[in-house]
Chain A
Amino acid sequence: MSSSEIKRGVPEGLWIKCPTCKATLFKKDVERNLNVCEQCQHHFYTSAGDRIAQLLDENTFEEWDANLQPVDTLGFVDSQPYSKRIVDQQKKTGLKDAAVTGRGFIRGRGVVIGITDFAFMAGSMGSVVGEKLARAAERATELRVPLIFVSGSGGGARMQEGILSLMQMAKISAALAKYDSAGGLYICVLTNPTMGGVAASWAFQGDITLAEPKAMIGFAGARTIKNTIRLELPDGFQTSEFLMKHGFVDRIVHRRDLRTEVAQLIDYCDMK
């Protein structure tokens, strides 16, 4: 997908083509349907903002740390300086970085929520994502409410922040361990895609792990694996269904049922 296609959740224009069933769909219909294809149930990208609207009770979201800004500690330059990339991405997405965190209600149940948005540098995790998610876990510990993280991080740890991005895996994990020790309920929802350092840390540290259908989820990228083993990868490799079959996902949940299922799970795991 090009950057302009990602921004609004589905490609620009009145009509879009479903990459799975190839049906031509009226864009407005797809948006009304939570960015899911009505023909084959393909789950399109959905932004952090849309996600909040889909999951939380109307007007209950209170955002935290919205002004945390990434910095270019390394002076990293690839095709352009990271500092410039940050500004471009901020303009493109309206986000300061890839994570949105805060509190709200799901069918009347108070929760802390954190979401990574693929639109901002593939949802990759740098210091801001790490700090926001760690703070969210710490506040959920204080508030004694369930914690819901939704991952949409294709990039894993953010290369442009070097070793500090790797350390965010440790930082968030430490905060989640504390929350867990305090008896917190952590539900993680894996969406397309969840890879690399995000998968190898907070995405797989939930008490309950949910996944949207056919999301790509895994540790190593398909290309890296192919280059290493020099074999073709099996059909359906690293999908939600593959993960569930191998025992690493509790439930695959259609986007329209997510809100109900999360509320249902919360009721079984009373934190009092």
Chain B
Amino acid sequence: MVPEPLPFEADIHQLELLLDKLEGAGGEGASDETRRMKREHRALLKKTYDNLSPWQTVEVSRHKQRPQFLDYLGLCFEEFVELHGDRAFGDDRALRTGFARLGEHKILLVGHHKGRTLKERQECFYGCTHPEGYRKALGKMRIAAKFRVPIVCLIDTPGAYPGIGAEERGQSQLIATSILELTRLPTPIVCVVIGEGGSGGALGIAIGDRVSMMQHAYYSVISPEGCAGILWKTANDETKPRAASALRMTSRDLQQFGVIDDIIPEPLGGAHRSPRDAADALKKHLQRRLRELVSLSTEELLAKRYEKFRKLGQFA
């Protein structure tokens, strides 16, 4: 299937359409021409994706066909026992929680889901969590900690939902409580930003012993649109890329700042070109990190987690 092209992929898209046609024609003994085009396609993808601008990275991270929480759920995990509801208000569909199996590990899986169809996206507010979502997640994570079940958090949100109900129900309070409790929750926590790491809404479930990013994800204090709106009054095709560059929000930047531990490599041309390969890389990462963490004593785990966040920041 030819992926939907991003604005900077016109040449790549042309090649993909041609290749699709040639392969569809069924010429089994791939002609020299096809092989040459395939090489060209790979070279072009590599060149483009090795040099993505920060704004292009944001576009990749938001690609409609990029694997989301439910895709990874099917591709990485063997079982999922979803646990619903926050016991106070409702069941936020933007944030999913449940027990899952990952190879030898029994874990609690927590993650934002953005949805793909319009109906699904409306149901889960495009991955924007309400206060009840954070209350639900923390509730389930406390159960996990009680039985020392490790937690995996998959972050993919443009931000916590900005709305009247969200404010009435204490968006600040619930995110604040979640962050505070996660800094001391006595069980291993592995966090991965799989797509969008949108400010406080992301951080609400991104406190853990390991925090990593998929290669083309972004993680930022403010969305490029929000930043552009504040600094240059309007978010347009000129100011959004400027904001994305200024904020230094790519996985490479964050690793440089010591904010993330690992960059999980994506298949050539981004996770949406091969969700299977992206999922394999994610799975390998999670298993490796969980194996390291489950052997630590709770005391050591929490002391290291404290240090991890305590040392962040730069001043003179």
Residues of A within 8 A of B (CB): 68-71, 73-74, 76-79, 126-128, 130-131, 134, 157-159, 161-171, 173-178, 180-181, 196-197, 199-205, 217-221, 224-225, 228-229, 231, 233-234, 237-238, 242, 246-248
**Complex partner residue of A200 from B161, B200, B232, B313, CB under 8 angstroms:** B200
Is there an interface contact between A162 and B200, defined as CB atoms closer than 8 Å? no
Is there an interface contact between A167 and B164, defined as CB atoms closer than 8 Å? no
Is there an interface contact between B315 and A224, defined as CB atoms closer than 8 Å? no
Q: Please, which residues of chain B bring their CB within 8 A of the CB of A69?
A: 315-316
Separation in Å of the A72 CB from the closest CB of chain B?
Answer: 9
**Complex partner residue of A225 from B167, B173, B219, CB under 8 angstroms:** B167
Is there an interface contact between A159 and B167, defined as CB atoms closer than 8 Å? no
Sorted nearest first, the 9 A-B pairs with minimum C-beta distance are A220-B162, A127-B313, A199-B172, A204-B176, A219-B171, A174-B183, A200-B175, A69-B316, A167-B312
Task: Please classify the interface of chain B as helix (H, G, I), strand (E, B), loop, or mixed, using the class held by over half of its residues.
Answer: helix
* A174→B248 CA distance, assembly (Å): 24
Is there an interface contact between A162 and B249, defined as CB atoms closer than 8 Å? yes
B184 beta carbon closer than 8 Å to chain A: yes
Separation in Å of the A265 CB from the closest CB of chain B?
Answer: 19
B73 beta carbon closer than 8 Å to chain A: no
* A177→B162 CA distance, assembly (Å): 27
The total of chain B residues at the interface (CB under 8 A) is 52
B170 beta carbon closer than 8 Å to chain A: yes
Given A71-B315, A76-B246, A159-B222, 19 additional A-B pairs, CB 8 A = A68-B316, A71-B316, A128-B315, A163-B220, A164-B259, A164-B313, A168-B312, A169-B179, A170-B312, A171-B310, A174-B184, A174-B306, A196-B200, A197-B221, A200-B175, A201-B179, A225-B167, A228-B161, A242-B167
**Complex partner residue of B162 from A157, A161, A225, CB under 8 angstroms:** A225
Is there an interface contact between B314 and A205, defined as CB atoms closer than 8 Å? no
**Complex partner residue of B166 from A169, A196, A219, CB under 8 angstroms:** A219
Tell me the chain B residues, 228-248 only, with Cβ under 8 Å from chain A. Answer: 230-232, 246-248
Separation in Å of the A157 CB from the closest CB of chain B?
Answer: 5
Q: Please, which residues of chain A bring their CB within 8 A of the CB of B231?
A: 78-79, 159
- From B167, B246, B305, residue with most partner A Cβ within 10 Å: B167
Given A164-B314, A220-B167, A228-B163, is A169 in contact with B203 using a C-beta cutoff of 8 Å? yes
Is there an interface contact between B169 and A127, defined as CB atoms closer than 8 Å? no
Is there an interface contact between B168 and A178, defined as CB atoms closer than 8 Å? no
* A233→B247 CA distance, assembly (Å): 30
Given A71-B316, A170-B183, is A246 in contact with B310 using a C-beta cutoff of 8 Å? no
Binary per-residue interface labels of chain B (198-242) against chain A in the complex, 1 for a CB within 8 Å, 0 otherwise: 011001100100000000000111100011001110000000000
* A89→B288 CA distance, assembly (Å): 47
Is there an interface contact between B200 and A166, defined as CB atoms closer than 8 Å? yes
Output the nearest chain B residue to A247 by Cβ-Cβ distance: B170
Is there an interface contact between A162 and B309, defined as CB atoms closer than 8 Å? no
B181 beta carbon closer than 8 Å to chain A: yes
B8 beta carbon closer than 8 Å to chain A: no
Output the nearest chain A residue to B316 by Cβ-Cβ distance: A69
Q: Please, which residues of chain B bring their CB within 8 A of the CB of A228?
A: 161-163
Is there an interface contact between A77 and B315, defined as CB atoms closer than 8 Å? no
Q: Please, which residues of chain A bring their CB within 8 A of the CB of B169?
A: 246
Given A159-B230, A204-B173, A219-B166, is A197 in contact with B200 using a C-beta cutoff of 8 Å? yes
* A70→B222 CA distance, assembly (Å): 19
Q: Please, which residues of chain B bring their CB within 8 A of the CB of A162?
A: 220-221, 247-249, 253, 257
Q: Please, which residues of chain B bring their CB within 8 A of the CB of A233?
A: 164
B180 beta carbon closer than 8 Å to chain A: yes
B177 beta carbon closer than 8 Å to chain A: yes
Is there an interface contact between B314 and A71, defined as CB atoms closer than 8 Å? yes
Is there an interface contact between A166 and B315, defined as CB atoms closer than 8 Å? no
Given A73-B314, A224-B226, is A167 in contact with B259 using a C-beta cutoff of 8 Å? yes
- From A158, A168, A200, residue with most partner B Cβ within 10 Å: A200
Q: Please, which residues of chain B bring their CB within 8 A of the CB of A175?
A: 310
B254 beta carbon closer than 8 Å to chain A: yes
Output the nearest chain B residue to A132 by Cβ-Cβ distance: B315
* A42→B201 CA distance, assembly (Å): 33
